[in-house]
Amino acid sequence: MVAAGLLTIATGVIAPRHAAADTPWLTVSEDRFASFSVPAAYIQDNLGQVSQVVIEGNFGPSAAFAEFGLTRRGDLWSGTLGPLEPGLYHYQVTGDDTKTLKDPTNAAGVASKPYLSTFLVPGGSAGLLTDVPQGQGGTVETLTYRAGTTERSAVVWTPPRRSAKGLPVLYLRSGDGVTATDWLDLGRARQILDNLSVRGAMEPMVVVIGDGPDQELKDLRKAVGDRYHVHHDPAHQAIAGVADGGTRALRAALAKPGQFAYAGSFSGLLTEVTGRPDPHAIKLLRLYTGNVTDPAYNATVGLTRSLDRAGVRYEFDGVNPDAGGNWNAWRENLVDFVPRLFRKVSGHGPSAGHGPLKGRFSPPAPGTTPTPFVTKDGFVTFETPTGHADARHVTVWANIAPGGSWLRVPMTLEGDRWRVTIGPLEPWFYYHQFFVDRVQVKDAGNPSKVTSEPAWSTFLVPGPRARLLTDVPAGRGGKVQNLTYQSTVANQQRTALVWTPPGYDARRAEPYPVLYLQHGAGQSYTDWTEMGRAKQILDHLSLDGKLVPMVVVMGNGNVPDFTTELLANIVPAARAGYNISRDPARQALAGLSMGGWQTFAVLRAHPGEFAYVATFSAGFTDTTGVDAAAINNGTKLLRLYVGDRTDFVYPIFQTSLTTLDGLGIRYEFDGVTPGPHGWDVWQKNLIDLAPRLFKR
């Protein structure tokens, strides 16, 4: 696929060993990369024959549930994702969209959702999610009670230090599809409360987590009063909830003033206040919402307006920019809400980094605009073409994972199109396609194209970080033209693309230096402009004064003998068509993946032919006949690039450095480029390389 630019090599060094039955399927490195290795035999025995295996988890933008595809390598389905932000993650293993199982090597599970497993990525922002030292935390137990003729249960946390005078109570309501035990397994409520208590950041209280209907709240409160030494007056009673539970919490506090002095809504869906709430009956009413991907976002817009009209005082925690309506947001909500209860606090505004509501979020109506629809805040709405209404499982696949890896986000059928809004995405260049019941489908509403991979489409999220990938003002950039040449290797006419700098002068006395820039396997000469944004990068660097005026030739490397193709066909054609130098000191050669291996081959066979050489995500694996002295004497710059451990070439690359060191070949390596074997990495490599050329 175009995203990977993969090179098939004979060494097979990336094939993992067979995993034993008790070998963990998941390992998390100290630098926060999650690696999955699922035995193919286990999948076969439990799910039958499948064509794909994915890890479904909260890895998407705003912690959205998304699919991370694994690759079959020998006896394993495997893949690495990251670096992940510190926090709690949950996942399950799914084959062919519908066949799901739990990771049997991970004991951490979710009681209400038997397929899910969890893991914690430690770090500063996840400090409150870790276990406190043994014996310092509170106690969690189950409270069984009767509501009419029904036996119900709730989860109760009691603090490590209890008061002889009684304790206040927080009733924490679950939402639809959320159980009381989810607050422990996914919400880390026990760890949050323990840590806040140990740090002295909260008042001692009893926290009761229940998921019963509203009419049973009275029975639950009575059972708590009978079992625990608690206060019964409203000043020592609080209620909060998530999603529909937030709605029920607000109704309990507003509809019957005097029951609860404190109320919180975590992504609650209440949109309007009914009746005549007493504006002075509640000491604290605090509202929480995620960003526009949270179903509660628009509801919160309506609720704040309704509360303003009713004269009810409330606090708003601000829009969480990094989470939707999910546990990533709700855990933060609990951390913020609990320390405000039953005590005086000084701060009443939004949490740090949270923003204001900006009115309702409404993407354009289906079929009315080119897709995807991108907001200035980086939220992106995708929609499929019509004709897939009978599909069972539709996802959008894009380079939206950490570092530019690829995730599939499930879409929802709206009318005759499937839709989803994701984000916020960092300003950068993205590419996507749809999977409709595991069949790749082009976004027909997107006018962009990728010649070598017709199913892909591209889009740009604008912003300062993406400036070098945007178009320069019309008429100010360089030009890209076709160069047709006869290939004696392929025995056919072929085409290259040539970028000439702004102000290019074909009659200039001094020929221009030239960079020959090569693509990867599965790609072709068009990919550096369609996917690599080479024109935009070179235009900006040139206008910024960072680039020596040069000509860049992007040839077709899909031949069995690239060295001959380059030196006998591409180079002579470029010299015939453009005012470029023949001096090796004014010639450069670079390539990504396969093109990088081809570049190394040229360097070995013709040291000194190109004074500037660079490879992106490639390895120096063939040492036959290497003349290290000739390479060092004839090369002014040999600069090497690779992605992080999500780049499958990474281990080969590291071995290559040892090989080069052993041969005594001088090179530069500035460290890994964060990201996988994909365009996010290679665009950054070109941005770094181009200004270094022809300046020594």
CB-based contacts of 152, cutoff 8 Å, min separation 6: 144, 145, 146, 210, 212, 216, 219, 220
Whether 17 maps to a domain, the answer reads no
Spatial CA neighbour of 619 closest among 2, 13, 4, 3: 13
Rounded to whole angstroms, what are the CA distances from 2 to 24, 399, 523?
32, 12, 6
CB-based contacts of 386, cutoff 8 Å, min separation 6: 367, 416, 417
Q: Kindly provide the b/e burial profile for residues 389-414, where b requires at least 16 CB atoms within 10 angstroms of the residue's own CB.
A: eebebbbbbbbbbbbbbbbbbbbeee
The answer to whether residues 98 and 148 belong to one domain is: no
The answer to whether residues 410 and 380 belong to one domain is: yes
- Give me 41's structure tokens: 């035999």
Residue 148: the pLDDT is: 85
Beta carbons within 10 angstroms of residue 572's beta carbon: 13
Q: How far apart are the first and last CA of the chain?
A: 37
Strand, helix or coil at 483? strand
* C-alpha to C-alpha distance for 121 and 87, rounded to whole angstroms: 5
The answer to whether residues 451 and 476 belong to one domain is: no
Residue 21: the pLDDT is: 54
Whether 6 maps to a domain, the answer reads no
* C-alpha to C-alpha distance for 470 and 535, rounded to whole angstroms: 9
* C-alpha to C-alpha distance for 533 and 686, rounded to whole angstroms: 10
Of 433, 462, 491, the position where a domain reaches its end is 462
The answer to whether residues 502 and 618 belong to one domain is: yes
Whether 14 maps to a domain, the answer reads no
The answer to whether residues 457 and 473 belong to one domain is: no
Beta carbons within 10 angstroms of residue 361's beta carbon: 18
DSSP state of 167: B
Q: Which residue numbers in the chain have pLDDT < 70?
A: 1-21, 275, 279
Domain of 111, CATH number, reads 2.60.40.10
Whether 3 maps to a domain, the answer reads no
The answer to whether residues 81 and 172 belong to one domain is: no
**φ, ψ at 220 (rounded to 5°):** -65, -45
pLDDT digits (tens, 9 = 90+) for 446-474: 999 999 999 999 999 999 999 999 999 99
Residue 1: the pLDDT is: 35
Domain that holds residue 687: 468-692
Residue 568: exposure state from Cβ atoms within 10 A (0-12, 13-18, ≥19): middle
Whether 327 maps to a domain, the answer reads yes
Whether 2 maps to a domain, the answer reads no
The answer to whether residues 449 and 486 belong to one domain is: no
Contact 628, 638 (CB under 8 A): no
The answer to whether residues 428 and 327 belong to one domain is: no
Q: Kindly provide the b/e burial profile for residues 464-490, where b requires at least 16 CB atoms within 10 angstroms of the residue's own CB.
A: eebebbeebeeeebbebeebebebebe
The answer to whether residues 77 and 118 belong to one domain is: yes
The answer to whether residues 583 and 655 belong to one domain is: yes
Q: What strand order describes the sheet that includes 514-518?
A: 479-487, 492-500, 551-554, 514-518, 587-592, 612-616, 637-641, 668-669
Domain of 614, CATH number, reads 3.40.50.1820
Rounded to whole angstroms, what are the CA distances from 23 to 37, 38, 42, 232, 474?
9, 9, 12, 52, 57
The answer to whether residues 534 and 548 belong to one domain is: yes
Task: Note the pTM of the prediction, 2 decimals.
Answer: 0.92
Residue 4: the pLDDT is: 38
Residue 1: exposure state from Cβ atoms within 10 A (0-12, 13-18, ≥19): middle
Whether 476 maps to a domain, the answer reads yes
- Taking each helix axis from N to C terminus, what angle separates 534-543 and 679-689, rounded to the nearest 10 degrees? 30
Rg (CA), the chain: 30
CB-based contacts of 309, cutoff 8 Å, min separation 6: 273
Residue type, 522: G
**Total number of domains constituting the chain:** 4
Residue 265: the pLDDT is: 97
Of 340, 364, 391, the position where a domain reaches its end is 340
Of 288, 319, 340, the position where a domain reaches its end is 340
The answer to whether residues 458 and 475 belong to one domain is: no
Spatial CA neighbour of 640 closest among 661, 617, 624, 623: 617
Beta carbons within 10 angstroms of residue 92's beta carbon: 19
* C-alpha to C-alpha distance for 309 and 329, rounded to whole angstroms: 28
**φ, ψ at 376 (rounded to 5°):** -70, -15
Residue 212: the pLDDT is: 80
Contact 465, 406 (CB under 8 A): no
pLDDT digits (tens, 9 = 90+) for 531-544: 999 999 999 999 99
Contact 359, 353 (CB under 8 A): no
* C-alpha to C-alpha distance for 235 and 232, rounded to whole angstroms: 8
Whether 632 maps to a domain, the answer reads yes
